[in-house]
Amino acid sequence: MKRIETTFEHVLFTSRWLMAPVYLGLAMAMLLLLFKFMKELFGLFAEIWSASGSELIIGVLTLVDVALIMNLLIIIMFSGYENFVSKMEDLHSHRDRPDWMGHIGFSDLKLKLIGSIVAISGIELLKGFMNAHNMTDRQLAWMVGIHVTFLFSGLLYAAMDRIAGKGH
């Protein structure tokens, strides 16, 4: 019976490698976002003389939005891989290794995720307000409601995480 248990635990432990292709897929998603970023950037240059100030600001906010999402993906890929799959031991002495790499736990990762979602939602809300003349009051109200929901969810999660951390 002990042998079956040991084999089962080994299979479960090894199954963490099933996440590796997921992190590779997120890296490929970053490539798609890079194309989206470049398309938006070139579009801004093409419309520089004909676009209004608010249209340019909305375009720049879209670039910031894509950058935040890509930064979030990097954090998720590195932290998730190191927390759930394998340590990146060979990269510890690499001169470009980010200082936070290897130090973000699962709880920190969730806080960074919700913080990024709130920031991205805020940018989308700002873009909506900049483009309010093309939106209905109902659409704007939904955007505000969704943003406030993300904001309060993030605050509540941070409070719960802080309370849970005090018990250790």
Q: What is the mean pLDDT of residues 11-28?
A: 94
Whether residue 51 is predicted with pLDDT greater than 90 in this model: the reply is no
pLDDT (0 to 100) of residue 33: 97
pLDDT (0 to 100) of residue 115: 85
Label residue 163 by pLDDT band (50, 70, 90): confident
Which string of DSSP letters, residue by residue, matches 49-98? TTS-HHHHHHHHHHHHHHHHHHHHHHHHHHHHHHHHT---GGGTT-TT--
pLDDT (0 to 100) of residue 167: 47
Q: Where are the domains of the chain?
A: 20-166
Output the pTM of the full model: 0.75
